Amino acid sequence: MSFKDWFREDRLPHIFCTGCGNGTVINCTLEAVEEMGWIRDTTVFISGIGCSSRAPGYITTDSLHTTHGRALAFATGVKLANPRLNVVVFTGDGDLAAIGGNHFIHACRRNIDITVVCMNNMIYGMTGGQGSPCTPPGAISTTTPYGMCEPVFDLSALAVTAGANYVARWTSYHVTELTKAIKVGLDTPGFSFIEAMVQCPTAYGRRNKLRQVSDMVTYLKTHALLLQKKQRMEEEGETVPADMFAVGEFVRRDRPAMGVLK
């Protein structure tokens, strides 16, 4: 058995563009699910709308491809009504942070026993590259033609503050770490949030001098700063470059959780 057995072979190849990181994140998630020993019949994948949210359609389990931003609300219903089901939510930065922001913070607050894998590509990919709440300052998108002028949403920090039991961030380049983080998330009772920074060469890179897939992956690789290193830099009074993002495990705790099978 490998994660490959979880794919709907008849639907591959998927619709993602060349070099899109979403496929990698699906691989890592399925590998983690496989390592957990979960079975198809009791695993449910749920998603909203966007590139990331097409993922459940390629997986052989029961899956729910819902409306924009509402995946977590649907997942809440599924998990509470049948706690025997293992629920994993795929979502993106626009889906989760913009239209679904309210559902996100409340799912964290309820600490409901689901795992959320957020593919943060810093852009609205499916609609053709509009600015999202996670588009870095200065970045060009079709709706920010003069550079993004709004600050970004730090989704992991938000999840920590709102009360999630497990929060981690990696990039689609760090496949091994990402897989491990997702596995810990699946294993943790309560709300687990894993943010995967993914490359979007088509909608983001093309307009931001990162046209080649390798350029965009190198960008993620070089701008990822290990959380421990970041903390050490801060302690030592060094300035952390503003365009770098921390990766690693942000929190692992044991707050009371909802929807855990007793």
Partner 1 sequence: MKLVIDERRCKGCNLCTMICPYRIFREGTRPNDRGIVIPELDRPERCTNCRLQGLYGRRLCGVCQMICPDQAISWEEEKPYEPRKVVIEF
Partner 2 sequence: MTKIEFMQGNTACAEAALAAGCRFFGGYPITPSTEIAEHMARRLPKMDGVFVQMEDEIGSIASVIGASWTGARAMTATSGPGFSLMMENIGYAVMTETPCVIVNIQRGGPSTGQPTMAAQGDMLQCRFGSHGDYGTIALCPASVQEMYDLTVKAFNLADRFRIPVFVMSDEVVGHMRERIEIPDTVTVVPRRPLEKGTLPFTAGADGVPGFPEFGKGYGVHVTGLTHDERGYPEATDPALHAALVERLVRKVEDARHEIADVTLTQPDAEIVFITYGPPTRTVRQVLHDNPEKAFGHLQLRIVWPFPEDVLGAFPHARAFIVPEMNFGQIAREIERHTCVPVKSVPKLGGELHTPDELLAVAEALR
**CA distances to 35, 140, 180, 238, 245 from 241, in Å:** 36, 20, 27, 9, 9
How many of the chain's residues bind partner 1 (CB under 8 A)? Answer: 26
SS (H, E, C) 89-142: EEEEHHHHHHHCHHHHHHHHHHCECCEEEEEECCCECCCCCECCCCCCCCCCEC
DSSP assignment of 190-211 equals: S-EEEEEE---TTTTGGGTT--
Choose from partner 1, partner 2, none: what does 253 bind? Cβ within 5-8 Å by kind.
none
Q: Indicate the DSSP class of residue 17.
A: P
The option from partner 2, partner 1, none interacting with 106 (CB < 5 to 8 A, set by class) reads partner 2
Q: CB nearer to partner 2: give 102 or 176.
A: 102
Site for partner 1 in 21-40 (CB under 8 A): 21-24, 27-28, 31
- Touching partner 1, residues 189-228 (CB under 8 A): 213-214, 217
Q: Strand pairing of 115-120 and 192-197?
A: parallel
Tokens 């097409």 — which residue?
A: 54
Element (H, E) at 47: strand 43-47
The entry of partner 1, partner 2, none that residue 14 binds, CB within 5 to 8 Å by partner kind = partner 1
- Asked if 120 interacts with partner 1 (CB under 8 A), we say no
Both tokens of 179, joined, read: 């897989």
Nearer to partner 1 (CB atom), residue 27 or residue 192: 27
Q: Residue 37 class from Cβ within 10 Å (0-12 exposed, 13-18 middle, 19+ buried)?
A: exposed
Instruction: Select from partner 1, partner 2, none the partner in contact with residue 251, using the beta carbon and a kind-dependent cut-off of 5 to 8 Å.
Output: none
Q: Shortest gap between Cβ of 13 and partner 1 (angstroms)?
A: 5
- Rule CB under 8 A: which residues touch partner 2? 8, 11, 40-42, 44, 46, 56-57, 60-67, 70, 73-82, 84-85, 102-103, 106
Quote the tokens at residue 154: 């730090």
Residue 181 lies near partner 1 (rule: CB under 8 A): no
Site for partner 1 in 123-142 (CB under 8 A): none
Q: Of 233-252, which residues contact partner 1 (CB under 8 A)? A: none
Contacting positions for partner 1 (CB under 8 A)? 2, 4, 7, 12-14, 16-24, 27-28, 31, 172-173, 175-176, 179, 213-214, 217
